[in-house]
Amino acid sequence: MKRLTALLAILVVAGSGAWWFATRIPASPFDGAAPAAATPLERGEYVARLGDCVACHSTEHGAPFAGGLPMGTPLGTIFATNITPDRETGIGGYTLSQFDNAVRRGIGADGRRLYPAMPYPSYARMSDEDVRALYDYFQRHVQPVRQANQASHIPWPLNMRWPLAFWNLVFAPTRPYQAAPQRDAAWNRGAYLVEGAGHCGSCHTPRGLAMQEVALDSSDPRYLSGALLDGWYAPSLRGDPNSGLGRWSEEEIFAYLKRGRNRHSVVFGSMMEAFNNSTQFMTDDDLRGIARYLKSLPGDPARDGAPWQYDPATRTALASPATLAASPGARGYMARCGTCHGADGQGRGEWIPPLAGASSLLAPDAASAINITLNGAGRVVAGGVADAYRMPSLRNQINDREVAEILSFIRTAWGNRGGAVTEEQVAKLRSQTNPASSDVIVLQMR
């Protein structure tokens, strides 16, 4: 009986301690600080652009930052929250320390844990100065909108938030970015932006069994090595020559982030949204810092294989009636794709991207190729001007078998080694995705 009593006492103490830890609100460097002084609008708005806050917390036809955007997760759908300064439905009642805890630690003002779809494991690296400027921007310069938040579609008990305290303990860092003394200022600025505010790893880093990013910085070779997310395959941003940036120069990375295109690719999918609302608004110095940092990340030859080389035999074969008669994929390509992308697979300069050597066609996962074929691409908007060219949706023009045949051909043409696509893969993404909007999507921030 004494042992049982002692065991129960230990369990009560341990349970109380665990509950205290799960529900406590950690300290913020802004605790007890005087109300934040106003900062220039441009400073806070720029930090918001760095973090691409508007893309997740706005809907296409809704008010800026009013929330409501559905976000698919393996557990169910969640909805981005209202982060306008409305005091009833937004964050107008947040103090600076409460705002800091939400942004960098994933804890709301009421102590509720935020789902890590909010990229606070990356935002944890943001500086105090940037958090203060961001708070000032949302409190003083964003128009308040009264719009209630939507409940998630995650069923009980998976929707319980308190276990996230222990998830954070294991997977979420707590210190702002620390500059690497052996690197120059441009590299460190790029690292700060990529690992912190830009939260590039949220899409481009693989996830573990607990749905955590398996790495959060350049010290781990898995960081930014490519990942499947919400119907798209975000390619490696490391020096991988096939699925990554190994064949891109620093200048080409800069151009892609600045103009949304280079000789290798045009932004599409989630990256199109990031370009339209974030990267094109960054300073040239910041974009060059990002390019410097990304270009320093080594690839993995064992993962990526021998570097891709162009094979002209496909162009010759496509000119042969016998090849077209024998290959449904080749026939479909010439009928549906060849006019724009060419028999040589080289596209049309920077305006229509090449398919020969494209990372989405060399990647191990065909999701991006299937998704854009079915659903098309949204409008790329650079400097306020919408792109005149876009990949159209073929969803209602060809069936799953035909999509699989065409993509299997493309992923093995011109030296591409992405491999075949199955009809079942196409059917699955068809059921889970929707056509891209034809509207110009550059969300206003004020």
pLDDT higher than threshold 60 for residue 16:
no
Cα distance between residue 216 and residue 121, in whole Å = 8
Task: Give the count of alpha carbons within 13 A of 301, CB side only.
Answer: 2
In this prediction, residue 87 carries a pLDDT of 96
* All CATH 1.10.760.10 domain ranges in the chain, comma separated: 185-432
7/150: higher pLDDT? 150
In this prediction, residue 91 carries a pLDDT of 97
In this prediction, residue 309 carries a pLDDT of 96
pLDDT band of 342, cuts 50, 70, 90: very high
pLDDT band of 19, cuts 50, 70, 90: low
Nearest to 147 by CA among 67, 60, 55: 67
In this prediction, residue 125 carries a pLDDT of 97
- 185-432: CATH superfamily: Cytochrome c-like domain (1.10.760.10)
pLDDT band of 202, cuts 50, 70, 90: very high
Measuring CA to CA, how many Å separate 360 from each of 255, 340, 418? 19, 18, 8
pLDDT higher than threshold 70 for residue 20:
no
In this prediction, residue 159 carries a pLDDT of 86
- Residue pointed to by tokens 């490519």: 226
pLDDT higher than threshold 90 for residue 199:
yes
Task: Render pLDDT for 90-111 as a digit per residue (tens, 0 to 9).
Answer: 999 999 999 999 999 999 999 9
pLDDT higher than threshold 60 for residue 439:
no
List residues forming the annotated binding site. Answer: 53, 56-57, 200, 203-204, 337, 340-341
- Stated pTM of the model: 0.91
Cα distance between residue 255 and residue 196, in whole Å = 21
Mean pLDDT across 341-357: 94
b/e burial code for range 213-246 (CB count within 10 A of at least 16 → b)? bbbbbbeeebbbbbbbbebbbbbbbbbbbbbbbb
Instruction: Give percent above pLDDT 70 in the chain.
Output: 91
414/159: higher pLDDT? 414
Cα distance between residue 263 and residue 205, in whole Å = 25
pLDDT band of 440, cuts 50, 70, 90: very low
End-to-end C-alpha distance for the chain, whole angstroms: 67
pLDDT higher than threshold 80 for residue 446:
no
Reported CATH class of domain 23-28+37-171: mainly alpha
Average pLDDT value for the chain: 90
pLDDT higher than threshold 90 for residue 35:
no
Mean pLDDT across 351-374: 94
In this prediction, residue 15 carries a pLDDT of 54
List residues forming the annotated binding site for heme c. Answer: 53, 56-57, 200, 203-204, 337, 340-341
Cα distance between residue 129 and residue 120, in whole Å = 16
Task: Render pLDDT for 205-259 as a digit per residue (tens, 0 to 9).
Answer: 999 999 999 999 999 999 999 999 888 999 999 999 999 999 999 999 999 999 9
Nearest to 112 by CA among 159, 173, 51, 172: 159
pLDDT higher than threshold 90 for residue 26:
no
Mean pLDDT across 28-50: 82
Mean pLDDT across 436-446: 57
Omega within 30 of 0 (cis) for the link into 157 = yes
In this prediction, residue 94 carries a pLDDT of 96
Task: Render pLDDT for 389-426 as a digit per residue (tens, 0 to 9).
Answer: 889 999 999 999 999 999 999 999 999 999 999 999 99
DSSP state letter for 412: T
- Residue pointed to by tokens 């000119």: 319
Q: What's at 280, amino acid-wise?
A: Q
